Chains A and B, each alone.
Chain A
C-alpha cells in the first residue's frame, strides 16, 4: 500500500469544530454560574445632620420607632403588626399616611429607630423596607438598653 507523502508544510487550515466545542464549554460554565448569582439591592438612609443656619429652622415631624428583643415594632408606643409579620402592612400604611400629611404641610419626617441591642438585624431591615415604601429616608439609629 502506497502511503501518502506528507508535505513539509501542510496547510492546517482553520479548525472550526474545536472552536465550537470550547465556546459551548464556556457557555455551559456561565449558565451554571448565573444560577448562583444573587442580585443585591440597597436601602438608603440619611442620618439627620447638624445644620448651622442664621435663618429659622424648618419644622420636622419626628416619629419614634422601637423594636424590642422579640422583634415587636411600635410606632410612638403603639404596637403594629405581629412579630411574625415580615411585610408589616399596618406599619407601612401608617407611615405612608404620615409621609403624605407631612408633605402636605411642607414639613420633613424624621424617624428615630430605637432597637433593642439583641433584636435581630433582619427586623430592622423589615422596618427600613416599610420606611422605603413610605419614602422616608431620614432615619436616626439608636440602641436602647432600657427596652
Chain B
C-alpha cells in the first residue's frame, strides 16, 4: 500500500493516508460498540415468534420491560431502564409519573418465550394500575 514519502532532510511530513486509516478504524470500533451499548432492548431476550404481528413503526414514548427467564433458578428477572427488578411493584409511582408527563406513553414487553406468563401478567397489571392501557408485546417474525 503506497504511502506518502518523507522529507529529504529527515523531518517527518504530515501523512494523511495513515491518519484516515486510523480514523476509520476508530469509527468502526465505536460503531461496533454502539450496537451493544447501553440500550433499552436486551439482546439476550429470546422473543417468541408471531408470524402475523405488525411491523414496528416507531419507538416514541415507549416504556420497555425486558423479562429474562433463568431456567436453572426458575426465576425471571425484569429489567426496566437498565435496572433489574425481582419485584416490580416499586415501579408503580414511576409509571404513574411517566403517564402523567406523557399521556401517549405505552408499554413494550420483551420477554423470553419460556417465561411463565405470570411475570408478564404482573407487568400488565402494574401498567393498568398506573393508567397505561396501551400494551405491546415484542415478537419475531420467524
On A, residues with C-beta under 8 Å from B are 5-10, 12, 15, 17-19, 21-22, 25-26, 29, 33, 38-49, 67, 86, 115-126, 128-129, 132-133, 141-143
Q: A15-B3, A22-B24, A26-B28 are in contact. Are A124 and B120 (CB under 8 A)?
A: yes
The range of chain B's interface size is: 35 or more
Closest B residue to A49 using CB positions? B133
Question: Which residue, B4, B7, B48, B51, has most C-beta atoms of chain A within 10 A?
Answer: B48
Known A8-B9, A18-B21, A122-B114: A129·B2 in contact at CB below 8 Å: no
CA separation between A40 and B142, bound complex, in Å? 10
Distance of A67 Cα from B70 Cα, bound (Å): 22
Report yes or no: A15 in contact with B17, Cβ–Cβ below 8 A. Answer: yes
Q: Is B75 an interface residue (CB 8 A)?
A: no
CA distance A122 to B113 in the complex (A): 4
Pairs A-B, 10 closest by C-beta atoms: A122-B113, A12-B4, A117-B118, A41-B53, A6-B8, A122-B48, A47-B133, A129-B50, A125-B48, A143-B121
Contacts of A12 in B (CB 8 A): 4-5, 13, 15-17
Given the contacts A42-B137, A42-B138, A133 and B111 also touching, CB distance less than 8 Å: no
Within 8 A of A (CB), among B59-106: 67
Query: Given contacts A6-B5, A17-B1, are A40 and B114 in contact (CB under 8 A)?
Result: no
Question: Is the pair A42, B2 in contact by a Cβ cutoff of 8 Å?
Answer: no
Within the complex, what minimum Cβ distance (angstroms) separates B11 from chain A?
8
Q: Which residues of A contact B124 (CB under 8 A)?
A: 47, 141
Q: Which of B11, B47, B114, B128 contacts A47 (CB 8 A)?
A: B128
> Which of the residues B1, B67, B116, B136 comes within 8 Å of A45, measured between beta carbons?
B136
Interface residues of A, dominant DSSP: mixed
A14 to B19 alpha-carbon distance, docked (Å): 13
- Measured CB to CB, the residues of B under 8 A from A are 1-9, 11, 13, 15-17, 20-21, 24, 28, 32, 35, 41, 47-56, 67, 108, 110-121, 124-125, 127-128, 133-141
Q: How far is the CA of A122 from the CA of B124 in the complex (A)?
A: 16
In the complex, the answer to whether A121 meets B20 with C-beta atoms within 8 Å is no
Q: How far is the CA of A118 from the CA of B115 in the complex (A)?
A: 8
| In the bound complex, CA of A29 to CA of B25 (Å) | 11
Assess the B5–A41 pair: CB atoms within 8 A: no
CA gap between A122 and B9 in the complex, in Å: 73
Contact of A132 among B2, B28, B50 (CB under 8 A): B50
B20 touches A19 (CB 8 A): yes
Contact (Cβ within 8 A) A41 B121: no
The verdict on A120 contacting B116 (CB below 8 Å), with A6-B5, A6-B8, A7-B8 known, is yes
Cβ of A129 and Cβ of B51 under 8 Å apart? Answer: yes
